[in-house]
Amino acid sequence: MNPFPIVMSAPSGAGKTTVTKELLARRSDLGYSVSCTTRAPRPGEVDGVDYHFLTEADFLQRVERNELAEHAIVHGRSYGTLKSAVQTVLDSGRHVIMDIDVQGARQFAQAYPHSVLVFLLPPSVEVLVARLIGRNTEDRSTLRTRLQSALAELRDVDRYHYVVINDHLEAAIARVGAIISAESVRRGRVPALDQQVQGLVQRLEQELSQYSA
């Protein structure tokens, strides 16, 4: 298998983290690259599992050392992806799946051109707002900021290879899983495919020569 990165993007509340976690739990061919952030942990989040929680100074030092495949400021906080974390998963023979905002996805695709970019859409604005409110972590000001970001992110959808509507969780998981499976056997990703085809052609030509008139 020739592993590749899968980048999941979506407005806050669209469900990308849930879909990503479910795929990781169900597929042995996937690994996760834990992102870095300077925001404070939410209740229940664990450093090194959900995110690498860094200080602003540490984050900037890593940027200066070119250790990040992408980095961006989202809702006033810095987020990024460590190149070393990505490479560790790929070297293990697994695809690396991440949830990254649209700013970071543009940078990441430049660093890893063979990436597959998937955008997850909520079924409606009403559902998106309800999910954000249901977190009980968003005050009115924060909610407005996230909705403004969602508007900007939706305008970037045409940069993505695939768009999946999360109208039903199981269906969304299945759709993204199907994308990964299909991309795994795409012609350009199969190792030594051209040589294999050429070998079949030569062998078939030899076989046909026995039936010459």
pLDDT at 159 over 90: yes
Q: Is 44 left (phi over 0), alpha (psi -120 to 50) or beta?
A: left
- d(CA 168, CA 122) in angstroms, rounded, equals 10
- Rounded to an integer, the average pLDDT of 155-182 is 95
Structure confidence at residue 35 (pLDDT)? 87
Give the chain's domain count. 1
Average pLDDT, the chain: 89
Q: Are 179 and 162 within 8 A, CB to CB?
A: yes
- d(CA 14, CA 167) in angstroms, rounded, equals 9
| Poorest-pLDDT segment among 7-11, 131-135, 158-162, 178-182 | 131-135
Q: Which residue has the higher pLDDT, 188 or 39?
A: 39
Structure confidence at residue 73 (pLDDT)? 85
pLDDT at 138 over 70: no
Q: Containing domain of residue 107, as a range?
A: 5-209
The three-state secondary structure class of 147 is helix
pLDDT at 210 over 70: yes
Buried/exposed code over 186-212 (b: 16+ C-beta within 10 A; e: otherwise): eeeeeeeeeeeeeeeeeeeeeeeeeee
Structure confidence at residue 165 (pLDDT)? 92
Q: Which residue has the higher pLDDT, 168 or 75?
A: 168
pTM: 0.80
Q: Are 89 and 103 within 8 A, CB to CB?
A: no
Interval 64-112: pLDDT, tens:
999 999 998 877 889 999 999 999 999 999 999 988 888 889 999 999 9
CA dihedral (84, 90, 96, 101) in degrees, to 10, reads: 40
Please name the residue that has the structure tokens 């991309």.
183
- Range with the largest mean pLDDT of 43-52, 168-177, 201-210: 168-177
- Indicate which CATH number applies to the domain containing 98: 3.40.50.300
Task: Enumerate the H helices of the chain as residue ranges.
Answer: 16-26, 56-64, 83-91, 102-111, 125-134, 140-154, 169-184, 193-209
Q: Which has the closest alpha carbon to 111: 23, 33, 192, 26?
A: 33
pLDDT at 39 over 90: yes
pLDDT at 134 over 70: no
CA dihedral (62, 13, 106, 115) in degrees, to 10, reads: 90
Q: Which has the closest alpha carbon to 22: 35, 12, 8?
A: 8
- Rounded to an integer, the average pLDDT of 109-137 is 82
